Amino acid sequence: MYSINDLKKSAGSYLGKYEVERLHGAFEFSKRAHEGQLRQSGGPYVQHPLEVSGILADMHMDYQTLVAALLHDVIEDTPTAKNDIRKHFGKGVAELVDGVSKLTQIEFDTRAEAQAHNFRKMLMAMSNDIRVILVKLADRLHNMRTLESLTPEKRRRISRETLDIYAPIAQRLGINTIRLELEELGFAALYPMRHRILTAQVARARGNRKEIVNKIRTALKRRLRQEKIPAQVVGREKHLYGIYQKMHSKGLSFSEVHDVYAFRIIVDSVDTCYRAVGTVHNLYKPVPGKFKDYIAIPKANGYQSLHTVLFGPFGVPIEVQIRTKEINDVAEAGIAAHWLYKLGGYSERVGTHKRAREWLKRIIDMQTVAGNPQEFLENVKIDLFPESVYIFTPKGRIIEMPKGATAVDFAYAIHTDVGNTCVGVRIDRQLAPLGTRLITGQSVEIITAPGARPNPAWLNFTVTAKARSNIRLYLKNLRQSEAISLGKRLLNRELEMMGTAYAAIDPCLMRKVLKEHKLEDESVLLREVGFGNRIAPLIARQLTDENTLPRKKRQKGADTIPLTIKGTEGLVVNFPKCCLPIPGDPILGFVTAGRGIVIHHQSCPNINEYRNHPDKWINVEWESNIASEFPTNIRVEVTNQRGVLATIASVIASQGANISNVGITDNDDRYMTLKFVIEVKDRVHLANVMRRLRNLKHVSRISRR
């Protein structure tokens, strides 16, 4: 069992004597705070923070981080306050411990909501001090090592969270050693049967591979020695979760994945790395398109290495990574290497810390525009899985984008304003659609226009968190402004029926109504009415002193002033797919909480249940001279003959109507039914289309819906 003496020995290899003794004091403080508390395994609770601190000591973390690890649960699980920690160990340690602690004072409706809030708090604390996540990762690693004492359901939940969030964060921060262990432990707990089968397969295959690996390693070492390149050559075992992921994502068999032989060549300098590439390419033929230079263009997490794939002996592919010793240390320790190198006096060589800061800055930007913690968590998850492509701006700057990114994602990567106002794109100097997927090496120029705004359809193809969160923010603000406008129209309509107008409302009455409903100001009230969360007639009555109105006007019928609908109101006036009303149809509006007004055809069967609830109706009518087009259904029964679909589609197009969808149902050998969704201007336009179709000899019957 790991002890305080083990921790002191590990930390003593790089910390001063005074700091090591202070660690003992922090351990005693934690032990007193957790006295009487037990882990699920039955052991004393203090063993957990001690092991967490030990993991961080092995990574050569600084004194404050080790103390924070020893105390990381005292705020959450004991009566100890943050001020007590500040008093004994200083402000820095207190802030670290607080950043790692969960939100325990707030109750949430669901576990997902609580997880999202906790995750957001942790990332916000990371923005102030990145050591918070290192303590959290070490905490999660020790929890994963001791999962066996938990129930199967809890093991699965924690393992899924580890694979979805914590292992990708470790990868993003370049901490390869922790990432690999988190993935292995998570895989074993989440898919125990698959883990056992793969373990057995790897053990069985290892004996057959040993001889081949030794031959390839010997050949590589001999050739490098001939070229006078001092190098260390090691064979790499593919880790189990990596094998499983490749099999799962690419549909490969175990032998197809495991027959790739992996080697790492470690040399003394970056120049030697490139010489070594030429040497191994002379020894074995390289596979075209498989050379990747992550030294010149590092990954987002600061990872650097040269990667190449070779046609090896016996027809087997060989994966080779070439890097310096220093780069190899950073690849294993990631951002933790910042503190290791800082102690050695050459922290300027480590770019991982800077890249982690840049990633955190993007996270903070996402936080400011995310609608809620769960949306924020979703955005971060998107950002944690980047298989990168590298794109050039017109000025030659390289932008790293996740695989599958589109021109719109690229526009937002340059700047939010560029994304919000983009209208077109030139890819390698050729105009292309905004939804075009980008590939490495392309030169991309974004075309903007001052009055342009984000399109809701962009959410169907954008993949980066920054693009999606900013598009959603714009749509949210647009929806709210439209709701305010609609709310004002609805209130005005009700007030006019009562013989007054919104502009004539007594300010005292308005303040009284706002206070009763606990609303901040008039715009919030109007927005609530527009969204259907408050009933317009009720608010109108509260905003007027009815006793002062003329009796005749108070008794005017509700049908006298219908609300006019243009069809272009947008997000708070909805047209359902059940009846697809078009201008000229008799319509009814229904106020629905959160959706504003939903417009139905008066004959729609879906509104039957509401007919006995007139308080939810609102009289509406189409505005004259509507220029928009509206979708509607038509059903055409035809004789089953060659070319009949093309004939009907041609007639519809000749009448200026667009076909947005078509379905075909065979009735029997002789007849079939064609169901079209077409876009028309109004009932007259639809009647012209149907008249022309009815005149076709193959059409036996035509109807709407």
Q: What is the pLDDT of residues 60-81, one digit of tens each?
A: 888 888 999 999 888 888 888 8
Question: Binning pLDDT at 50, 70 and 90, where does residue 334 land?
Answer: low
pLDDT of res. 115: 57
CATH entry 2.60.40.10 includes domain 4-191: no
Q: d(Cα 471, Cα 479) in Å, to the nearest integer?
A: 12
Return the number of other C-beta atoms located less than 10 Å from residue 90's C-beta. Answer: 13
SS3 call for 159: helix
Residue 289 sits at the vertex; the CA angle it makes with 288 and 290, to the nearest 5 degrees, is: 95
76 included as an active-site residue? yes
Taking a C-beta distance cutoff of 8 angstroms, is the pair 338, 81 a contact? no
Q: d(Cα 601, Cα 606) in Å, to the nearest integer?
A: 10
Domain limits, CATH 3.30.70.260, in the chain: 630-704
| Partners of 442 in beta bridges | none
CA atoms 635, 641, 642, 648: torsion sign: negative
* The amino acid at 266: I
Residue 347 CB burial class (10 angstroms; 0-12, 13-18, ≥19): middle
Q: d(Cα 554, Cα 29) in Å, to the nearest integer?
A: 74
Residue 511 backbone phi and psi in degrees, to 5: -65, -40
494 included as an active-site residue? no
Question: Binning pLDDT at 50, 70 and 90, where does residue 349 land?
Answer: very low
Cα–chain-centroid distance for residue 521? 34
Question: Binning pLDDT at 50, 70 and 90, where does residue 556 land?
Answer: very low
Question: Binning pLDDT at 50, 70 and 90, where does residue 503 land?
Answer: confident
pLDDT of res. 702: 93
pLDDT at 558 over 50: no
Q: d(Cα 473, Cα 680) in Å, to the nearest integer?
A: 32
Residue whose token pair is 């590589």: 220
Q: Would you state the torsion angle of the CA atoms of residues 402, 405, 409, 414, taken in this order, to the nearest 10 degrees?
A: 50
Return the number of other C-beta atoms located less than 10 Å from residue 612's C-beta. Answer: 7
Structure tokens at 538: 């009720």
Taking a C-beta distance cutoff of 8 angstroms, is the pair 482, 592 a contact? no
Q: d(Cα 698, Cα 33) in Å, to the nearest integer?
A: 87
**For 103-148, what is each residue's pLDDT tens digit?**
334 344 455 555 555 555 555 555 566 778 888 889 999 999 998 8
DSSP string for 536-575 = HHHHHHHTS-GGGS-HHHHT--GGGSPEEE-S---TTEE-
DSSP string for 615-632 = GGEE-EEEPSS----EEE
Q: What counts of helices (H) and strands (E) characterise the chain? A: 29, 21
Domain 194-334 sits in CATH at 3.30.460.10
pLDDT of res. 544: 78
Taking a C-beta distance cutoff of 8 angstroms, is the pair 349, 270 a contact? no
312: which DSSP letter? Answer: -
| Partners of 324 in beta bridges | 267
Contact residues for 454 (Cβ-Cβ < 8 A; gap 6+): 419, 420, 470, 471, 474, 475
Q: Where on the phi/psi map is residue 186: left (φ > 0), alpha (ψ -120 to 50), or beta?
A: alpha
CA atoms 141, 143, 145, 147: torsion sign: negative
Q: d(Cα 162, Cα 179) in Å, to the nearest integer?
A: 10
pTM (two decimals): 0.54
Residue 552 sits at the vertex; the CA angle it makes with 551 and 558, to the nearest 5 degrees, is: 110
pLDDT at 552 over 60: no
Question: Which is catalytic among the residues 58, 77, 332, 496?
Answer: 77
pLDDT at 359 over 60: no
* The amino acid at 598: V
How do 596-601 and 587-592 pair as beta strands? antiparallel
The CATH architecture assigned to 630-704 reads 2-Layer Sandwich (3.30)
Domain limits, CATH 3.30.460.10, in the chain: 194-334
Q: d(Cα 315, Cα 164) in Å, to the nearest integer?
A: 36
Residue 205 sits at the vertex; the CA angle it makes with 200 and 207, to the nearest 5 degrees, is: 115
Q: d(Cα 99, Cα 87) in Å, to the nearest integer?
A: 17
pLDDT of res. 275: 93
Return the number of other C-beta atoms located less than 10 Å from residue 204's C-beta. Answer: 10
Helix axes 17-33, 4-12, angle to 10 degrees: 150
Spell 139-172 as b/e; 16+ CB within 10 A means b: bbbbbbebbeebeeeebbbbbeebbebbbbbbbb
Cα–chain-centroid distance for residue 55? 30
* DSSP H helices in 191-269: 192-226, 240-250, 254-258
Average pLDDT over residues 638-647: 87
- Of residues 536 and 145, which shows the higher confidence score? 145
Residue 601 backbone phi and psi in degrees, to 5: -65, 140
Q: Which range (116-125, 175-184, 666-675) has the least confidence?
A: 116-125
Q: d(Cα 702, Cα 705) in Å, to the nearest integer?
A: 9
SS3 call for 495: helix
Q: d(Cα 590, Cα 610) in Å, to the nearest integer?
A: 9
**HEC assignment per residue over 565-603:** ECCCCCCCEECCCCCCCCCCCCEEEEEECCCEEEEEECC
Domain limits, CATH 3.10.20.30, in the chain: 386-448+456-463
Domain 386-448+456-463 sits in CATH at 3.10.20.30
Average pLDDT over residues 459-468: 85
pLDDT at 228 over 80: yes
Q: d(Cα 4, Cα 54) in Å, to the nearest integer?
A: 9
Domain limits, CATH 1.10.3210.10, in the chain: 4-191
- Of residues 202 and 216, which shows the higher confidence score? 216
Structure tokens at 12: 């003593």
Distances (CA, A) of 198 to 202, 403, 567: 6, 28, 59
Highest mean pLDDT among 43-47, 245-249, 397-401, 464-468: 43-47
291: which DSSP letter? Answer: -
Structure tokens at 461: 């193809």
SS3 call for 151: coil
Strands, DSSP E only, in 278-397? Answer: 285-286, 292-293, 306-311, 317-324, 388-392
Closest alpha carbon to 622 in 652, 588, 653: 588
Question: Which is catalytic among the residues 6, 58, 76, 679?
Answer: 76
Taking a C-beta distance cutoff of 8 angstroms, is the pair 637, 673 a contact? yes
